[in-house]
Structure 1
Amino acid sequence: MSGDGLTLADLEAPAIAAGSLRGRNVVILGGGRTGQATAAFAAAAGANVTVHDTDTIDRVVGATEAFAGSTIRTSFGDAENLAPLLADADLVVHSPAVTLGFPTVRPAIERDLRTFAAGAIPLVGEGGARGRLLISEPEWALRLLGNRWRVGVTGTKGKSTTSNLIATILARDPSHPVELGGNNGKPLIGRAAALPPETRVVIELSELQLPSLHSSVDVGVFTNVTVDHLDRHGTVSAYRSVKRLLADRIADDGVMVVNLDDPVVAAYGGIGRVEMVGYRLSSPIPGGVGIVDGWIVAAGVLRAPRYGGGVAATGPSGRIMPVGEIALPGEHSVSNVLAAVSVALIAGVAPDAIRSAVSSFTGIPHRLETVAV
């Protein structure tokens, strides 16, 4: 460790701009896109950066190009000797895939990382302690966002489409720039600190990222929770518990947006700690979004306080748009649209803007593409 260590405040944008990472030893665990972006950010802040990955560099997409000719040191193809790198580290940043307790983490890496974690200062509490820090890239990115409005989206299926659609609708409000990142292959770490303060940030969150988060989002969106990724979590119950973590990461004055047609997600809505907007493919519950006579309808959804509070604007009888104008195919796509509409109403986006955005959104690459007719 160089000097007297770091505080949590040293990882925030103002401190970094003032040189808090200059000359510090930073180790990045994971050399993929997330690690590459994190390494570039830390190096630009003046840190001495080393990137470690158990795969050889030729097997990691983009790594050879990312680190060629840079001052960033690399340690690829080594699954046994992490401890020497950690010995002098002030800050260790791990990719979501290198999370303690995941069975996909190599035993030696798990052992050395646990040893480092035992001596690191906690990421919760007052944050005045000084010492070594262990943090994930998603958590660091959230801290760099500061007070910007952030929407976290999770679910077994539909989170990518829903995240992109939310960002598309929010972008129809010219007074607020929109940034999309997270599990979609676009790490936020290199962009978060430079975003305008009024930016709305949409973050796709997988079950890899959720366990390492401590900071909050303003809106947490749940699309659905089915059975998946049992290789990492072992049981259905454990996987569901990981997905539920987003509910615990919603700010006290935030909102939970839940799919009432999914029994697992609907149960999350019963937690009761924050306001809830429920959506379903039938008539909406009070304060929710649903479908009546072929129209997407809102039943008194409240705007976020920072966007004026009160009931969000709609057309007559709460109408937003006809279901038939949705460009995406499939009933599940209608459910994703309802989730995105819920967030847009919370943000105070005008119903005409919502309608225009949804009717022109045809999806994202490699999702529901026609292969033959």
Structure 2
Amino acid sequence: MNTKLNDFKKKIKNKKVAVLGIGISHTPLISYLYRLGADITAFDKADEVKLKSTLEQFKGMDIKYSLGEGYLDNLKGFDILFRTPGMRYDIPEILAAKEEGTEVTSEMEVFFELCPAEIFAVTGSDGKTTTTTLIYNMLKEQGYKCWLGGNIGIPLLSKIEEIKDTDKVVLELSSFQLHTMTKSPNVAVVTNVSPNHLDVHKSMEEYVSAKKNIFRYQSAEDRLVLNFDNDITREFAGEAKGDVVYFSRKTVLEKGAMLKDDMLVFRDGETETEIAKASDIVIPGVHNVENFLAATAAVIDCVDRDVIRKVATTFTGVEHRIELVREINGVKFYNDSIASSPTRTIAGLNSFKDKVILIAGGYDKKIPYDALGPVIAEKVKCLVLIGQTAPKIEKALRDETERSGKGSDIPIKKCTSLEEAVKVAYRFASVGDVVILSPASASFDMFKNFEERGNRFKEIVNSIEA
């Protein structure tokens, strides 16, 4: 019996509960809390018209709403407040509620408190979703009952009553989810850390500190998997309480998962086990080799080597991540809408041997684009720009040309929409070319999220007449 869950049920019944944000993760949360007898008020900056389809799901439930402009003005007199991950924990309205005695938490924080199963969790600036999905597939293939959640899968707090202590839970966690966490998973993976989300975090230091919460509260029995090739994550080992296991694409390690010649290898002291050939991995890119190494280091103690090898040689990737959409008259179109940072786009560009036609640009997260210039100069034959960050990306290339003389012959096409960008890219393309949407930016200036952006890209590409 999950006594913590029973205690939570008693605690939440008849309590005045505020749920901030009526998005994908909070819709099942609201329904679950309502079933437990909570008195719920749901808050959202969108108005009733925009939320019409979402609110239909709560028809017949006695739920109160505070919507639209000034929606947080009514945030008074609550026992418990559930904050949506994208909202800072220290805005004046939340601080005032806390001062009043309201308990401030989140769906993920409560899940960590109540979950009876072993938790594997992944964070990082890039590669989170692929690494999380790989770990989930490896554990599932081994025969465990697995649950996938966090940024992907389903909101797991609403499923807490079904999760057993023999199950495995695999989570993708963002810095926003980790920011206020005071519990860490049994197995924590940090794929890499580079500047990201500086439109929300006050500084790079705050961003890195949030990431550290994934291992900050571990015990000596827990495991921390770190990228040895990333300067920031390598240094995390000095603060770790649990067993540190590195992965590396560039260095031979005494203990950890590494790439030796073309072979993925796990070494523990004198024992060295070959896992699979890197060339047998189905999805392209050296960054995906790193994702496989990270996943291997996470599951090596509970998954057979043959199972890891099978997943490595059959996994075809996750939607919106260098996803082949269509080939039209010899031109291949790839959807890499997940690439919302320069480092992610750099990894995508480096996945291809030949130069590509790049569609980039989007919402400005206030992060530097300098590192993108040299890679565009080397890997791009035509640059198609959209969105708020178009001038920053163009400047990165111009600065590289001024510095090294490279990239001066790359045509730069500026467009006002994704539709126009795809058409311009296709007109420029020749037989054998690759057109890739890899924005190096968030989507919020034109789309709700990277999925909507990627799906729109696929719609546009699939509508082109061959």
- TM-score of Structure 1 vs Structure 2, range by shorter chain: 0.7 to 0.9
Q: Is the 8 A contact 1:321 1:355 kept in 2?
A: yes
* CA deviation vs aligned residue, 1:139-185 (integer Å, no higher than 9, x gap): 01111213x100111011110111111101110121x2111100126
Q: Which structure has the larger Rg over C-alpha atoms?
A: 2
The 3-state SS of whatever aligns with 1:138 is helix
* CA deviation vs aligned residue, 1:276-327 (integer Å, no higher than 9, x gap): 00000145422211022321111118xxxxxxxxx9xxxx841111112211
Which residue of 228, 234, 239 maps to 1:271?
239
Aligned-pair CA distance for 1:13: 1.0
Q: Is the 8 A contact 1:221 1:256 kept in 2?
A: yes
Aligned-pair CA distance for 1:11: 10
Mapped partners of 1:142, 1:61: distance in 2 = 32
Mapped partners of 1:182, 1:44: distance in 2 = 22
TM-score between the two structures when normalised by the length of structure 1: 0.81
Which residue of 159, 168, 177 maps to 1:200?
168
Q: Is the 8 A contact 1:144 1:193 kept in 2?
A: no
Q: How many residues are treated as equivalent by the alignment?
A: 326
Which residue of 290, 300, 314 maps to 2:268?
300
Which residue of 76, 80, 84 maps to 1:95?
84
Aligned-pair CA distance for 1:203: 0.9
The 3-state SS of whatever aligns with 1:57 is coil
Residue in structure 2 matched with residue 86 of structure 1 by the alignment: 76
Percent identical among aligned pairs is 27
Residue in structure 2 matched with residue 37 of structure 1 by the alignment: 28
Q: What is the RMSD of the two structures over their aligned residues, measured on CA atoms? A: 2.3
Mapped partners of 1:218, 1:58: distance in 2 = 43
Aligned-pair CA distance for 1:235: 2.8
Aligned residue identity for 1:115: A
Which residue of 136, 140, 144 maps to 1:171?
140
The 3-state SS of whatever aligns with 1:20 is helix
Which residue of 93, 97, 116 maps to 1:116?
97
Q: Is the 8 A contact 2:276 2:309 kept in 1?
A: yes
Mapped partners of 2:155, 2:49: distance in 1 = 21
1:161-240 equivalences under 5 Å are 161-174=130-143, 176-184=144-152, 186-240=154-208
Mapped partners of 2:156, 2:177: distance in 1 = 13
Aligned-pair CA distance for 1:193: 3.1
Mapped partners of 1:337, 1:168: distance in 2 = 11
TM-score between the two structures when normalised by the length of structure 2: 0.66
Aligned residue identity for 1:221: V
1:141-156 equivalences under 5 Å are 141-146=111-116, 148-156=117-125
1:46 aligns with 2:37: yes
Long gaps (5+) in structure 1: 1-9, 102-109, 121-131, 302-310
Which residue of 133, 155, 158 maps to 2:127?
158
Aligned residue identity for 2:228: L
Mapped partners of 1:61, 1:253: distance in 2 = 48
Q: Is the 8 A contact 1:57 1:63 kept in 2?
A: no
When residues 234 and 202 of structure 1 are mapped into structure 2, their CA distance, relative to the original with a 3 A threshold, is same
Mapped partners of 1:38, 1:82: distance in 2 = 22
Aligned-pair CA distance for 1:60: 4.5
Mapped partners of 2:147, 2:141: distance in 1 = 13
Long gaps (5+) in structure 2: 326-330, 333-466
